[in-house]
Each structure stands twice: as structure tokens, then as C-alpha cells.
Amino acid sequence: MQHPSCNSIPPSQFSDIQGDWFCTYEDRPEYAVTLGVLAGSFSVNYPRAQLLIASPLDPSTIYPTLPPGSHFIHWRPEIGGWNVKPELLAKALMAGARTAAWIDADIFVSRDFHRILPQSPETLVVCDEARSLTTQNTAEWARRLGRKPGRFLPRQINSAFVRVHASHQALLNAWKNVCHDPAYQAQQKRPFNERDDPFKGDQDILTGLLASEEFDRIPLFQLRAGRDIAHLLGGSGFGPHERLATIWRGQPPFLHAHGYPKPWMATSGNDWLALNPYVCAVRNLGRRLGWHLPWLQLPGGKSRLFNALSFGNPALAGLPFVLKPSR
């Protein structure tokens, strides 16, 4: 089965959208595949969800093609990349959305996840950062943003998923202002590992703001890393115990292709990357929908064997490589 061409999608604007929306953005042509994959995973695994795709790319160039009913907006933001989040979320709220949730384009939605989200729309929802990463002093991050520390955050925030409500407008404004600040933009031009904390990226800014006294009264809910969202940082981020636990509690609803190399950008296949949970999930869905993506191929005997023994289970197929890393 293959979805109809996205030429069939009616033109859309930032207006007259009601209810709860999920928003994403991508401006790199070589990453356009993630928009098709994300939209496809929503259409099959969470079909009642409303996904808004904003991008300056031509939708007819996106493959896998966007499913029928996709809401695509041709949009070029003030500042692109990952710093687009507060601007896009604010636009969705102003257009009428009850809640607007950013979701990274390099996420695969494996199932309906509405039950794990808090019912109150005023509760801000973010992700826990991958537990394999070093814990940072979030109070110090608030100070470096010129704010008095308030809320204690045991771990920094990952902004792969951020759900907001109109009551969070002041936070969105503050987040956007820092992302647009010339000093922050100057940091973004430096190599990632040479940037000062908390100016490595937008999620560090959000962490510092939420750790400040100014915004510590906003109710906060964090999706659990390894259980609600799998941050796939190479061989870490989704460990053996977390993978085995999926046998009785199911796959995490979000599989986040967080690390490098990105599978769709890899120049040559290897067994380890072919059994990345994100790749396994896309492979399984692609077979159902008739997607033809070269990076989904199983390149070697080990990957074919482990995939067959696990029946293509995204969490379990690559378990041997996590137990004994081999690349």
C-alpha cells in the first residue's frame, strides 16, 4: 500500500485549527524523509491525532509521501533549525489550538500515547533527558540566563516533545527571545562541544527557564526516558533492562533517532545501525505501506538473524549489540 501523492493535500494556513495539535518542522532536504516517516507513523499508530507539518520544503519532494489529510503549511520562520520551536508553538496557539505539542521530526510514533499525557492542558509536558548523559546543574543554568533559581530539576529537559497551552505564553516569549538573542546565535555558530552552557541549544534554554523562579509555578510533567521515549544515542540511551521491560509493558510510544549517524544519512549499512529501534520500526511500517527506502535493508548475516529471532521487535532485535557493543 502506498499513500497518495501529497499534491492531493489542500493548502493550509496558520488559522482555524481547533483542539490538540502536534507540530513539527524540517528545513533540510536531506532530512525530509523524517517528515514522511513521522506522518506515516501517526496515521497508522495514532490516527486520530492532528499533525501540523510546517516547512519551507516543497511537499511534493517528501518521500514517503504524506498521508491523506496531512496538514502541511509552507512556512519559513524567522530563525530555523531547532530554535524554531517556541515560534511555531506560539503560532499554533494563536491559530486556535487548545494545546500545541512540538514533536521532533526524527521521532517514530509507535502507538497511541494520549493516556500517558496529563489531562490538564495547563500542565506543561516535556521529556526527561537521556539518562546516559551527564546530569547538569540546572539552577546554575537559570543564573546564567539572568534569572533567580526556583524549581529544582534533577535532570535537564529534552525538547524532543513539548506540549504547551495558552497559559504558557510568557514562557514561550522568553524562550523565543533567548533563541533570537545575538549572543545565543553567536554560540550556535561554534562547534557544538565548544558552546557554553546553557547555550548549546534550545532545550538547554528551556531547562534554565523552567528552573527559574519566574516560571517555577507552571505545572510540569516529564515523559520518562527509556519508558515513554527512547532516546537512541548510538549504543546508549535505551539500555538492556529498558528493552527487556517492553516485553510486558510494550514499546515506548516515542522512538527518537537522537544520536549519530542518522540512519537515513549513513553512507554504508552495518548490522548495528540496521537494528536501531527507530530503523526497525520504520522497516516494519514501510513493509506495510510499500515504502522503498534503501537504508532499511538488513546488510549482514547477524542483522538478518537477530531480526528474524526477534520477529522484528524494535526493542529486542538489536539487544545483542547493546549487551556486547559491536560496530
Three cell numbers at 42? Answer: 501517526
Same domain, 209 and 285: no
The residue segments making up the domain with residue 215 are 6-223
Q: pLDDT digit string (tens) for 99-147?
A: 999 999 999 999 999 999 999 999 999 999 887 777 789 999 999 999 9
Q: How many domains does the chain have?
A: 2
Mean pLDDT calculated for residue range 214-240: 90
Q: Does residue 259 sit within a domain? A: no
Cβ-Cβ contacts under 8 Å for 110 (sequence gap 6 or more): 41, 45, 251, 252, 253, 254, 255, 281, 314
Same domain, 216 and 296: no
Q: Does residue 177 sit within a domain? A: yes
Same domain, 244 and 187: no
Distance CA 91, CA 93 (A): 5
Same domain, 219 and 234: no
Q: Does residue 195 sit within a domain? A: yes
Q: Does residue 1 sit within a domain? A: no
Q: Does residue 258 sit within a domain? A: no
Share of the chain above pLDDT 90, in %: 80
Mean pLDDT calculated for residue range 271-275: 91
Q: What is the mean pLDDT of the chain?
A: 91
Same domain, 157 and 51: yes
Same domain, 237 and 217: no
Q: Map grid coordinates 506543561 to a residue.
A: 124
Same domain, 271 and 168: no
pTM score, whole prediction: 0.93
Q: What are the strands, taking DSSP E only, across the chain?
A: 19-25, 50-55, 71-74, 97-103, 107-109, 124-128, 157-165, 220-223, 229-231, 254-256
Same domain, 78 and 158: yes
pLDDT above 70 for 12:
no
Same domain, 145 and 234: no
Same domain, 156 and 245: no
Same domain, 202 and 85: yes
What pLDDT was estimated at residue 7? 38
Same domain, 238 and 132: no
2 alpha-carbon distance from chain centroid: 24
What pLDDT was estimated at residue 122? 98
Q: Does residue 257 sit within a domain? A: no
Cβ-Cβ contacts under 8 Å for 116 (sequence gap 6 or more): 223, 228, 253
Q: Does residue 99 sit within a domain? A: yes
Distance CA 185, CA 177 (A): 11
